[in-house]
Structure 1
């Protein structure tokens, strides 16, 4: 059974005028009566009832002891978060994956949704089945408990995700590390099973790394904090691992860095030439958007670990559907560029409200960057940079 909300603005206005609301897929009179046009004091009652009934949401009502599913996809959520939000909370029962799949097939849970999980017990096989559906739908996972006034939400907003829930969490294409009082854990014997190892490897997660990170006593949940999850690659905080391809046989060696996040693929190229290093950043935003950014942009710049370098009032262009930022980078500073924890390329507007760009985190490709660095030195050696005077 579902309670399905209607679209936020136009349908509120329409139903408020007619005095009718949509409940469980059929049209029923608001407050069991049709309002007449004469009494303006009651004109807003249908809209208020719509809000109280959960505008823009689907609720899969579960029996006692079953996983509850709540979908939020109203216009405000989509405008702010960019994706529908799905809350899975309560015990993960054997039928949870079937109900989740029904919502996916019905279009109530959309590809790319943000899935928030909070469950301290349940069926492990079902948790894995949920994780596979989450992965096949290109969805992102977070730990998160619903608001306290939602059915079965309990008294705490802190999320606990254990065993079956953890396997569902690892199904996310993008997985955010726990924050605040949220906790993620798996029992060591469960993690060390053949079935668990096969599942985690299918999700590109190394079970041996997780076992080494938790250090829990046998039989007790091994709690995994944000640092341990990030170190093992079990979370990526919205970014897939970067890739790097290089051409070091050319007289002008070049490297192509790419990373995909929820906004799309970001690309940075570096080409070494005698006396200068060319850096170009590419962001595909659409032809119209690229032109708008160039028109509105007041300055462009690179950022290394958050530090602004080479700011300029030009150096940004729209090339087809792609925004491009180009810089000549001093070869003596190449080591700072290639081995930064993050490399950003940004365009600022005339006000602080406008900023567009991206950052690439090159963790995992430093070995290739090292090879490229030495190829640049061999092809076009540069003078040591001058020491700063004290």
Structure 2
């Protein structure tokens, strides 16, 4: 049984690297140096593209940061794709949008390029030269820009004074190309459909724009703040109840499994982040623990984790008399702390898969009773 979890567990802040880079880090460079490092394609009445891939940016964010601002013109997708093919815009780059809209077809085409390149979408404004006298630091993304935003594999919700406006249509009046695009991007069409009385003619203008805040974007599935849906699987494996929780985010894949056994449930966690990073974390490990509702559980000093392929792996025996905690859990995670107190790991919000947690708990309890 697979259950996609739509209410994504999210951080309450944008990535630190993004804030530092946009507000501080590039400021450490001489303005002329920053100008050399940023590729800008500018033109009146068209979407401007600024590529920041200097050493400071890459050391902090690990990927280029791309700023798209201005009206989305018909040729914008071709210019963006050209930079992708040249290698300037890499897989998983951060794209910051600030556009009043423009060509809907071009916005959709950009969104498809974003998904193809596993792009991460945000709202944000570019860093302009110091001599710029007046400049609005709040970003706005409306219409065609909002469609492009939805193409991001990972999509950060608005914060502060940034605003994003999604076109809405009445029932049965959404253009076919928009319907197909939203479906391909995994967006529920009902989110952008109004139920106003009356029938608008086919091809009519959309109803008033939807301007959601950050929490509403998360709730409606328009943003995921760097995480894909949590997938919960409950089944019998080797005649024993087995539970798997798995989630992909921009840092890697994270998984928690429980295998019910008479002596206790075998707990295994996988933080799949790449072999080099995994080895570095395990080498620095001082303390590791499983976590339920932000509380340490099954802690262990050095030697509690290992590297398996590209994953940091933690294994524990979870006491059967504590399994009830799983059924009532709101969040679970696995963490490694180093000597400096810095911790590495992941956490899931699991309230959306509570039925599967309860099914596993009931099956495990029944099975162990049969063998006692």
**Fold conserved between structures, TM > 0.5:** yes
Q: Does 1:254 align with 2:236?
A: no
Report if aligned partners of 2:98, 2:140 keep a CA contact under 8 Å in 1.
Answer: yes
Q: Does 1:57 align with 2:45?
A: no
Q: What's the counterpart of residue 195 of structure 1?
A: 177
Computed over aligned residues only, the root mean square deviation of the Cα atoms, in angstroms, reads 2.8
Q: What's the counterpart of residue 292 of structure 2?
A: 304
CA gap 1:378/1:49 in 2 versus in 1, 3 angstroms: closer
Q: What's the counterpart of residue 15 of structure 1?
A: none
Which one of the candidate residues 155, 171, 176 is aligned to 1:175? 155
Count residues in correspondence. 330
Q: What's the counterpart of residue 14 of structure 1?
A: none
Shift of 1:329: 2.0
State how far apart, in whole Å, the 1-side matches of 2:262 and 2:299 are: 23
Deviations 1:292-338 (A, max 9, x none): 43332111012223222222214222334432112222334334335
State how far apart, in whole Å, the 1-side matches of 2:32 and 2:360 are: 60
Deviations 1:52-109 (A, max 9, x none): 5x142211122x1111110101111111112110001111112211211222222221
Q: Does 1:347 align with 2:322?
A: no
**Off by >6 Å, runs of 4+ in structure 1:** 150-154
Range 301-310 or range 333-342, more displaced? 333-342
State how far apart, in whole Å, the 1-side matches of 2:320 and 2:249 are: 29
Which one of the candidate residues 312, 317, 320 is aligned to 1:323? 312
1:88 aligned counterpart, secondary structure: strand
State how far apart, in whole Å, the 1-side matches of 2:330 and 2:133 are: 39
CA gap 1:319/1:360 in 2 versus in 1, 3 angstroms: same
Q: Which runs of 5 or more residues in structure 2 are unaligned?
A: 1-28, 197-205
CA gap 1:315/1:248 in 2 versus in 1, 3 angstroms: same
| TM-score (ref. length: structure 2) | 0.80
State how far apart, in whole Å, the 2-side matches of 1:361 and 1:265 are: 15
Deviations 1:232-282 (A, max 9, x none): 222111111122333326443112222111111111111112252221111
State how far apart, in whole Å, the 1-side matches of 2:276 and 2:87 are: 30
State how far apart, in whole Å, the 2-side matches of 1:249 and 1:107 are: 45
State how far apart, in whole Å, the 2-side matches of 1:144 and 1:323 are: 34
Range 147-156 or range 205-214, more displaced? 147-156
CA gap 1:130/1:302 in 2 versus in 1, 3 angstroms: same
Which one of the candidate residues 100, 108, 118 is aligned to 1:138? 118
Q: What's the counterpart of residue 333 of structure 1?
A: 322
CA gap 1:344/1:101 in 2 versus in 1, 3 angstroms: same
2:193 aligned counterpart, secondary structure: helix
| TM-score (ref. length: structure 1) | 0.76
Q: Which has the larger radius of gyration?
A: 1
CA gap 1:229/1:285 in 2 versus in 1, 3 angstroms: closer
State how far apart, in whole Å, the 2-side matches of 1:222 and 1:157 are: 22
Q: Which runs of 5 or more residues in structure 1 are unaligned?
A: 1-46, 383-390
CA gap 1:200/1:364 in 2 versus in 1, 3 angstroms: farther
1:238 aligned counterpart, secondary structure: coil
Report if aligned partners of 1:300, 1:347 keep a CA contact under 8 Å in 2.
Answer: yes
Q: What's the counterpart of residue 42 of structure 1?
A: none
Q: Does 1:277 align with 2:257?
A: no
